[in-house]
Amino acid sequence: MIRLFKVKEKQKETAENAKENGLVKKQSAGELRLHRDISELNMPEECKISFPNGKDDLMDFEITITPYRGYYMGGGFVFTFKVPAVYPHEPPKVKCKTKEPNHEDPLNQEAADLLRDNPKLFGLNVRKSIEGNIWVGGAHFPRCKTGDFY
């Protein structure tokens, strides 16, 4: 029994020394689960994943969606993901970095009304917002055109 404690102490000491020397980074259960989930992703061509802090930091990543058709064709829409260490018990925080007129957003009733009443003008406003540096309906939109589809 005494030997068991010595073995555990030795393992702990080895792990601490490795951590201090930067040799081994122990992954949390959330990181292991996220690694598996990301490796199993089957994303369409319109979606690209990137890791701004490098591949060693899986807990913060971005997904860029570039639609090939519809009102938003040619735009690049970036979503940031911040995954908590206790994932999957707590969901990731997701934020859209690209300002986007969305007719289905109940917070943007003006866009919804315009789509319903005048779809051509709605489409024109979306095109203008993708081109960027324009004011649409009192809101300024930076450029989000990708250039890959024009």
Could you read off the pLDDT tens digit of each residue along the chain, which spans 150 residues?
Answer: 445 455 556 656 666 665 666 555 677 888 889 889 888 989 899 999 999 998 888 899 999 999 999 888 888 999 999 999 899 999 999 998 887 766 666 667 888 888 889 999 988 888 888 888 788 777 788 888 765 443
- Same domain assignment for residues 92 and 106: no
Whether 1 is in a domain gets the answer: no
- Same domain assignment for residues 23 and 92: yes
Contact 74, 146 (CB under 8 A): yes
Q: How many CA atoms lie within 13 A of 32 on its CB side?
A: 5
CA distance 52 to 144: 18
- Same domain assignment for residues 94 and 120: no
Whether 35 is in a domain gets the answer: yes
Whether 6 is in a domain gets the answer: no
pLDDT value at position 67?
92
- Same domain assignment for residues 81 and 93: yes
Q: How far is CA 77 from the centre of its chain?
A: 10
CB atoms within 10 A of CB 42: 4
- Same domain assignment for residues 122 and 86: no
- Same domain assignment for residues 59 and 21: yes
65: which strand partners?
47, 77
- Same domain assignment for residues 62 and 120: no
pLDDT value at position 149?
43
E strands in the chain: 47-50, 60-65, 77-82, 93-96, 134-136, 139-141
Contact 79, 71 (CB under 8 A): no
End-to-end Cα, the chain, rounded Å: 72
Domain that holds residue 142: 99-150
CB atoms within 10 A of CB 125: 21
Whether 10 is in a domain gets the answer: no
pTM score of the predicted model: 0.68
